Amino acid sequence: MSFLKNIFKKRKPEKPPEGFVEHVWSWVKTFAWALTVVTIVNGLALASFVVPTGSMESTVMTGDFLFVNKFKYGPSTPQIIPFFNIPLPYYKTPPIWAPEQGDVIVFIFPGNRDQVKPDNFEYYLKRCVAVAGDVLEVKGGRVIVNGKEFPLPEHGQFMQYPADLRQNVIYPDDRIRTFPPGRGYTRDDYGPIRIPKEGDVLQLNQQNFQEWATFIAREGHQVDAMSMTIDGQRATSYTVERDYVFGMGDNRDNSLDSRFWGFIPKQDVVGTPIMVYWSMPVSDPNSRDQEPLSLKARIKGIRWSRLGTIIR
């Protein structure tokens, strides 16, 4: 009897095979979920960063892929949509640790010297050599902070002359390129300059208003250097609203850094690199224009010895 029941038992209809549209939609949902997870993790704790230039050689190399600890300096809501590099409005929690002198930092590029905002959202990598309230000076290539020399890091380098043979006339074009405009600093002889700290009062006059105009505008104000006004009001002083740090590349002669484009807001320091998880060359070091290497050449040049290198 039970045998007959099983024969005549109503069977559930089989699910029809998934059509093309359903198949595509399934992949879209999977990709969207994965992108959401990566975006959240990227904002809160851990991110990946590819070194684009040689400004930090030989601490890190062009083409190094780094894991970045974003938790240390304060987790944030996602800052960009991964893979698409589209910036997002974000909120950053108070930092667990503040950036300190000697830290290698990843930060949001503030823009070139005379830009209030950069053309594109980019992360940069430099070494923090001074923090808010410090007085920094570079003498003949030597970095002096609060009267004490900050030594060249272990893997730092000068490309042409060591510090004891450097002269101010080596890079005369720097005088019109460095920050702040009008000071005539060079990469080798810079400052003294105080790294702005929240609450500092800048005294403004006709001689120095242009020097600070972009800095003040980056803090969110409308600035007219010609009329010496801030938010439409004539100003003879300005109170700094944020803390800043000063970043320099370990490759001192091949680094566009705070000497050229200004201070880094502490709140825009997003993390510190932990280790190299992959490394391969991206351009031909022997070509004048650093021509990109072919995929075959990149694979052939994989730097196996750098895998697992801890960044200090």
Secondary-structure breakdown of the chain: helix, strand, coil percentages, each rounded to the nearest 5: 20, 25, 50
- Judge whether 225 and 213 are in contact, CB under 8 Å: yes
- Superfamily name with CATH number, domain 23-200+240-306: Umud Fragment, subunit A (2.10.109.10)
For 114-134, the pLDDT digits (tens) are 999 999 889 999 999 999 999
Query: Average model confidence (pLDDT) for the chain?
Result: 85
- The pLDDT value given to residue 96: 80
- Scanning the chain, the segments in alpha helix (DSSP H) are 2-8, 20-44, 209-218, 258-261, 295-300
Q: Which pTM value belongs to this model? A: 0.83
For 30-87, the pLDDT digits (tens) are 555 554 544 444 445 567 788 988 899 989 999 998 989 988 898 877 777 766 667 8
Query: What whole-number percentage of the chain has pLDDT above 90?
Result: 56
DSSP 157: B
Domain boundaries, the chain: 23-200+240-306, 201-239
Joined tokens for residue 302: 């994989």
> What are the two backbone dihedrals, phi and then psi, of residue 79, each rounded to the nearest 5 degrees?
-95, -25
- The pLDDT value given to residue 15: 57
